Structure 1
Amino acid sequence: MLSLASRSLPAGSALASASRNGTVQSVQVRGYAAPKGPAKIQKQGFVNKGKKKKFIQTVDPNKMKRIPAFKPLTANQLKSEIFHEDVKTELQLPVFRPDALTESNALAKVMEFPTQSNLINRFGVPKNLNIEYRILSKSCAVVRDITLTALDKLDAASASSSKDNRVVLTGSSGCGKSVVLLQAAEYCAGRGWIVMYVPRVHHTVDSSTAYIYDSRTRTYLQPRFSWQVLRRFLDVNTTLLQDLKTTKEFPVERKAPVQAGSPLTDLINVGLQDGSLAPSVLSSLMTELSRQKTYPVLLALDNFQALYTRTTRYRDPKFEAIKPYHLSVPRLFLEYASGKKTFARGAVVGALSEGRADFVTPLELCEALGLPFPRPAGPYVRRVPEIVDYSQGLQKLAVPEKLSIDEAASLFDVWNTDKALHSLPDDDLFMSKYSEASGNARAFVWKGLLATLTS
């Protein structure tokens, strides 16, 4: 007589244990569910065996998906009670307007950049500021005494040549040079200036875009970067550029020339429609801007020291490093920064980035600005004559090393109101974070206030 276990369990499964006298013993059976569908197999091989072989590779499409970083949730998705207070709270700040930037109204106050201004959205901001503005609900900055000083210099420069108004913001790493430069660009945009703001100048020398040698100018053109500058510049200054006309005819390859008296927007559109013409169009545009006297022009360059590096990451056909003044865009910026080319009305303002180890401030630029050089540099240390020439006439505007107590307190209130602090906001927390950062603006925010999120 067959036991119950031998009749109920299929062959190949766990053995049914039965005694010889027919009694059934308890057994443990493990079953494994069959797969619901065919397993995805990654294949790699060659097909079309013969003279022509085509390589194929099958990849799971789910692995190709990328999850975007800093993607905010809408208010409808925050249904938990813990988010109710955050949804209702909105950061209320005064607007960064030129008429409101007085010492009595704006000093040591955090002001938000106007939403109708597309300067930040088009030109962008440095990486660290970009992350801060993604965390905060609004793009803002504290108005410091150095901010008002820089704006006063720009007001005086609006009626004079840029040759006498070439300023470089200096200071220790994290003291706020990039923020002051951004405030200057926003201020000029609100005052009716034509603004060209480049927040990441190091991309012109780090071999991040394509380049091609031009035998006519003996320089390496950068069509992709030139096209990006033209597109962003047009988006920000469209209204003002429509009022400006070209002073001469500009021939265009394979197309009708841009006639004299045409709006500058027509000239820019030529470079946007054909990217290979973007470098020459950018150079012609800067020439037209330097001649007109209707509007003052601001050329704002962050990571300014990258233009003066001795060697770039670009390589020539012999795999030798290309000099920055042999690249079209850095050479164009250097000519206006050095005063070889000038705007009839306007200024050139740069900001050093001391936090970049790959593009340090060179000896030639330090000597021109009167800055200490970190390494011994005697008279026998070689100087590059071209970099020395491009450094002449630059003026230094030092940014204070520390935030004042009032300026730091304003930042503390903004981050607290925007629910960015994990610890209990009180005077002890504020003074401890301010002391830990030694008053440094970046360290106060990143290592002080944002560090409370991980505590």
Structure 2
Amino acid sequence: MSLVTALRSGRIAHAPAATLAPASAITLQSRGYAAPAKPAQKTASKFKSNKNKDKDKDKRGPRDSGAFRPMSVTNLTHPVFQSEQRTQLKLPVFRPEAITATAATKAMAFPHEESRALKAYGLPRNILVDYLLLAKPCSVVRQVTVDMLDQLDGAAASSSKDNRIVLTGKAGSGKSYLMLQAVQYCIQKQWLTLYIPRAISLVNSSTAYAYDARTQTYGQPAFAQQLLKRFADVNAALLQSLTVQNSYPLEDRTVPTGAPLADLINVGAEFQNYAPTVLNAMLDELALQTKYPVLLAVDDFQALYCTSQYRDPFFRSVKSYHLMLPRALLEFASGKKTLARGAFLGALSMQDTKYRPPLELIEALGLEPLGPSNPYVPRLPELVEYAKGLKNFPVPEQLTVDEAASIYDVWQQSKALHIPLADEMFLAKYTEANGNAGRFVKHGLLETVAM
């Protein structure tokens, strides 16, 4: 058999390489194969049998999760284990009759029955953080509080055209707290109160929106529906005696003249697609009625004058006054629409750099411009019209020593601080903050919170 024939038949693969070398002068390397594997020997398992698992579990007791578990209070009876516990704040109640000039510099707690507005409408973020740490919602009455509430008393019997107030001041001066005090005061004085603590959420594209061809504005159905529910919850007792003065035909129903105002609100609260239209109609009804004064309070008020984050179908920015609810609020703020009885109250916020007060609003309030303000800087005529007639109500930047001492006492009584109660520590924190309320709490007191 020739070599080629052997290669083709496959027999050469099993022949030794040494016998092929002399005949063909070709050196081939034979393929080596591994030895067959030996069968694995069975070894005894090193794990214990689970036959007596239940018996062992009973002997071991419950398994520890590894988390820290403090001992029960009943087991810590020795005086050495007794520590200062968080107690209920003993403060005078925030009542209209108690807000006088002599009450300035005193800390007062908001009454529980009127505090439902805090849960319904919500709070600004800085106040929310404070109330999560304090034992109960409270605030310090300042002289500026007494002055503001005096203006609201005068506005109770007059039109909102002469009572369009904007709280101004540097960051941390206490504008949000002052607005919250005004809202609580008006609720207790039987005012119909609509409070928006975070107006930035109206223009930052955080809620759905839809174009309404009838009004040529963009409605925000989800936000409007929630606002109607909150307003109805806070003002339920007063709404029972109010009726609508106009007829409101909707797609499949009509709210006739003389129907309870609560019925109109319930339609928007139940059906989201009607909510923007119902909210606009409710504001018109509140403006017409004269039985109760009305307060429209908007924190982060400057956001209504800024360009919104919403986009139209051509991806162009939607102006804030092209949104239904911001436009309605701007009309009451500018006096285009007026409340028969009541006031409009706004508060500027300087913290969010995306929503700084625009030049049109700055000039209307007589404030110092944040940027160029020469005649060559363009002004939007629409914003100039919406800012006309607003009154500047400045909030003092610095706390008095007595006001700061009341804030310090509240935090100390809440057992939220781990610093000693000493005049030196108080004066050091007050000096570091330069008397600013926000810095005094955030950088002075909150940095010492015992978490």
Q: TM-score, normalised by structure 2?
A: 0.82
More displaced 10-residue stretch of structure 1: 246-255 or 202-211: 246-255
2:259 maps to what in 1? 262
- The partner residue of 2:234 within 209, 233, 236 is 236
- Deviation sequence 1:91-121 (CA, Å, 0-9, x none): 10111110111111x2100101110011111
1:386 and 2:382 matched: yes
1:96 and 2:94 matched: yes
Identity %: 50
CA distance in 2, matches of 1:79, 1:356: 50
In the TM superposition, 1:424-435 aligns within 5 A as 424-435=420-431
Q: TM-score, normalised by structure 1?
A: 0.82
1:412 maps to what in 2? 408
Q: Is the 8 A contact 1:174 1:355 kept in 2?
A: no
1:212 and 2:210 matched: yes
CA distance in 2, matches of 1:259, 1:269: 14
Q: Structure 1 83/320 Cα, relative in aligned 2: closer, same or farther at 3 Å?
A: farther
2:449 maps to what in 1? 453
Q: Which runs of 5+ in 2 are unaligned?
A: 1-40, 50-71
1:107 and 2:104 matched: yes
Q: Structure 1 78/327 Cα, relative in aligned 2: closer, same or farther at 3 Å?
A: farther
CA distance in 1, matches of 2:406, 2:74: 28
Q: Structure 1 454/191 Cα, relative in aligned 2: closer, same or farther at 3 Å?
A: closer
1:375 maps to what in 2? 371
2:192 maps to what in 1? 194
2:31 maps to what in 1? none
CA distance in 2, matches of 1:89, 1:258: 51
CA distance in 2, matches of 1:355, 1:300: 19
Q: Structure 1 273/432 Cα, relative in aligned 2: closer, same or farther at 3 Å?
A: same
1:253 maps to what in 2? 251
Q: Structure 1 407/79 Cα, relative in aligned 2: closer, same or farther at 3 Å?
A: farther
Q: Displacement of 1:252 after TM fit?
A: 2.0
Q: Structure 1 375/83 Cα, relative in aligned 2: closer, same or farther at 3 Å?
A: farther
1:141 maps to what in 2? 139
1:348 is paired with a residue whose SS is strand
1:298 maps to what in 2? 295
Q: Structure 1 383/33 Cα, relative in aligned 2: closer, same or farther at 3 Å?
A: farther
- Deviation sequence 1:399-443 (CA, Å, 0-9, x none): 001010000000111101110111112001000000001111011
- The partner residue of 1:120 within 107, 118, 130 is 118
1:277 is paired with a residue whose SS is helix
Q: Is the 8 A contact 1:301 1:349 kept in 2?
A: yes
1:164 and 2:162 matched: yes
CA distance in 1, matches of 2:269, 2:207: 16
1:279 and 2:276 matched: yes
Q: How many correspondences in the alignment?
A: 388
Q: Is the 8 A contact 1:109 1:407 kept in 2?
A: yes
Q: Displacement of 1:89 after TM fit?
A: 2.7
1:359 and 2:355 matched: yes
Q: Is the 8 A contact 1:198 1:302 kept in 2?
A: yes
Q: Displacement of 1:453 after TM fit?
A: 2.9
Q: Is the 8 A contact 1:354 1:360 kept in 2?
A: yes
Q: Given residue 432 of structure 2, which amino acid in structure 1 is its aligned partner? A: E
Q: Is the 8 A contact 2:120 2:230 kept in 1?
A: yes
Q: Is the 8 A contact 2:155 2:342 kept in 1?
A: yes
- Deviation sequence 1:313-332 (CA, Å, 0-9, x none): 00001111000010011001
2:399 maps to what in 1? 403
1:316 maps to what in 2? 312
CA distance in 1, matches of 2:388, 2:85: 53
Q: Displacement of 1:90 after TM fit?
A: 2.0
1:57 maps to what in 2? none
Q: Structure 1 32/160 Cα, relative in aligned 2: closer, same or farther at 3 Å?
A: farther
Q: Structure 1 287/412 Cα, relative in aligned 2: closer, same or farther at 3 Å?
A: same
For the aligned residues, what is the CA RMSD? 2.3
1:358 is paired with a residue whose SS is helix
1:335 and 2:337 matched: no
2:438 maps to what in 1? 442
CA distance in 2, matches of 1:77, 1:196: 45
CA distance in 2, matches of 1:132, 1:78: 31
CA distance in 1, matches of 2:403, 2:74: 33
Q: Structure 1 345/276 Cα, relative in aligned 2: closer, same or farther at 3 Å?
A: same
Q: Displacement of 1:274 after TM fit?
A: 0.6
CA distance in 2, matches of 1:307, 1:407: 32
CA distance in 1, matches of 2:353, 2:47: 57
CA distance in 1, matches of 2:190, 2:442: 34
CA distance in 2, matches of 1:249, 1:450: 53
CA distance in 1, matches of 2:418, 2:156: 45
In the TM superposition, 1:48-63 aligns within 5 A as none
Q: Which runs of 5+ in 1 are unaligned?
A: 1-8, 14-30, 35-75
CA distance in 1, matches of 2:117, 2:377: 42
Q: Is the 8 A contact 1:247 1:260 kept in 2?
A: yes
Q: Is the 8 A contact 2:417 2:450 kept in 1?
A: no
Q: Structure 1 78/175 Cα, relative in aligned 2: closer, same or farther at 3 Å?
A: farther
1:203 and 2:204 matched: no
Q: Displacement of 1:450 after TM fit?
A: 1.4
**Bigger CA radius of gyration:** 2
CA distance in 1, matches of 2:169, 2:146: 17
CA distance in 2, matches of 1:33, 1:358: 66
Q: Given residue 111 of structure 1, which amino acid in structure 2 is its aligned partner? A: M
1:150 maps to what in 2? 148
